[in-house]
């Protein structure tokens, strides 16, 4: 405990190792899966195979920005790195011992772990059976990693939403294995978004299971445009000619806001009142704007079959939204966000930060102690059942 608080990092990441494909994947699937989704890297190059073709990489240059940050590292240090030569990733990206040491330096007691490669590429896998095999392999690997410190590391499982039956099977398996959450990317699967009636049975089973459905976006630069906003953002930004990708700055927020909007209009809060939802890695400022817009438009069009009560639909449910300590919305609108806001470090992504910096920022802004306690772990503990 630091500063009298149990600090829970509600948004940390792994960077998946080759062992998932080489050791944890069912041997019967290893050859076929290499053509569905496979990541490989050596001192010469990095490559991703997706649905039989080479896929765009998440990052330009040779700096793995998804796993480069270490405690104490500044943006200036990362910006000064030579992008034309490879740099070693933080060992804590896929080692429990190294991660725990980093958490101690960061002032973090417990952490929720989310995927990186399996967040970006896995949802675009076309073969449902291979997606099921990949999900099982990833979940077995992340569970084993977190089992080395089960009171500090809490993994989010992934589900093969390419087929809802397979997804429910893996949900039940994850629940039996002790997972507290599943990570779901807000994109189209086989032409269906998460609010499609096809997935109603999944939300019912999630509600029954008690697991938290963590809606976690990804930049989407490696995916077809229909799967997320990331590739669309890059197409629009191409005219800027600024030399680097910009989707990461906005795609997370856009995709999470789309999910929140569709769930609100489709009545998910009313139809699944006990469902636990966490919107992760997209900031928190979009929430109040989304709720105001959905309410106003429902009134404007005089829909009499939609009941949008912003207080009941969002702020007073088992919902969580991760925030950054530098977000002005988290500081200025804390009365709204006190029951749902949760700090996340984004470790080991290049824009990560530690708990001390977050606490200092919240205290400098004059946030009440109760709000700080909620942000730094109280809300996450409630929604994830930690």
**For residue range 153-200, what is the model confidence (pLDDT) as tens digits?**
999 999 999 999 999 999 999 999 999 999 999 999 989 999 999 999
The token pair that represents 301 in the structure block: 């069009």
> What's the pLDDT at 20?
98
Distance CA(9)–CA(122), nearest Å, equals 24
Residue with tokens 């105001």: 292
The residues near 40 (Cβ < 8 Å, ≥ 6 apart) are 18, 46, 47, 48, 49
> What's the pLDDT at 311?
65
**For residue range 290-315, what is the model confidence (pLDDT) as tens digits?**
988 887 777 666 656 666 666 677 89
Distance CA(140)–CA(24), nearest Å, equals 7
pTM here? Answer: 0.95
CATH topology of domain 8-384: TIM Barrel (3.20.20)
Distance CA(199)–CA(215), nearest Å, equals 14
Domain residue ranges of the chain, discontinuous segments joined by +: 8-384
> What's the pLDDT at 208?
98
Helix and strand tally (H, E) in the chain?
Answer: 18, 11
Give CA angle at 339 (332, 321), nearest 5°: 80
Distance CA(365)–CA(225), nearest Å, equals 39
* Sign, Cα dihedral of 338, 339, 343, 346: negative
Segments in the chain below pLDDT 50: none
Peptide bond into 236 cis (omega under 30): no
* Contacts made by residues 296-302, CB under 8 angstroms, sequence distance 24+: 298/265
> What's the pLDDT at 358?
96
């Amino acid at each position: 405990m630091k500063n009298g608080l149990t600090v829970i990092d509600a948004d940390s990441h792994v960077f998946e190792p080759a062992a998932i494909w080489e050791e944890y994947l069912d041997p019967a699937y290893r050859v076929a899966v290499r053509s569905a989704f496979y990541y490989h890297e050596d001192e010469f190059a990095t490559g991703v195979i997706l649905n039989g073709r080479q896929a765009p990489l998440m990052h330009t240059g040779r700096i793995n920005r998804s796993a480069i940050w270490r405690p104490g590292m500044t943006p200036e240090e990362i910006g000064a790195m030579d992008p034309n030569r490879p740099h070693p990733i933080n060992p804590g990206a896929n080692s429990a011992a190294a991660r725990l040491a980093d958490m101690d330096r960061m002032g973090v007691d417990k952490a929720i772990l989310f995927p990186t490669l399996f967040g970006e590429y896995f949802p675009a896998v076309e073969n449902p059976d291979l997606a099921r095999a990949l999900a099982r392999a990833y979940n077995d690997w992340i569970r084993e990693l977190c089992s080395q410190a089960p009171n500090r590391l809490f993994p989010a499982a992934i589900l093969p939403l390419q087929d809802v039956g397979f997804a429910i099977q893996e949900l039940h398996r994850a629940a039996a294995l002790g997972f507290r959450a599943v990570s779901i990317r807000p994109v189209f699967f086989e032409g269906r978004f998460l609010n499609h009636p096809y997935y109603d049975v999944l939300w019912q089973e999630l509600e029954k299971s008690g697991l938290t459905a963590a809606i976690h976006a990804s930049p989407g630069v490696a995916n077809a445009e229909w799967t997320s906003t990331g590739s669309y953002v890059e197409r629009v930004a191409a005219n800027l000619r600024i030399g680097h990708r910009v989707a990461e700055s906005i795609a997370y927020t856009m995709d999470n806001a789309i999910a929140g909007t569709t769930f609100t209009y489709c009545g998910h809060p009313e139809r699944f009142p006990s469902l636990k939802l966490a919107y992760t890695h997209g900031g928190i400022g979009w929430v109040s704007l989304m709720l105001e817009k959905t309410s106003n438009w429902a009134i404007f069009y005089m829909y009499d079959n939609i009941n949008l009560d912003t207080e009941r639909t969002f702020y007073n449910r088992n919902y969580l939204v991760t925030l950054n300590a530098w977000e002005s919305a988290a500081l200025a609108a804390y009365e709204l966000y006190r029951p749902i806001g949760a700090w996340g470090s984004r470790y080991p992504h290049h824009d990560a930060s530690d708990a001390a910096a977050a606490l200092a920022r919240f205290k400098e802004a004059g946030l009440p102690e109760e709000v700080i306690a909620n942000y730094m772990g109280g809300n996450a503990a409630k929604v994830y059942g930690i």
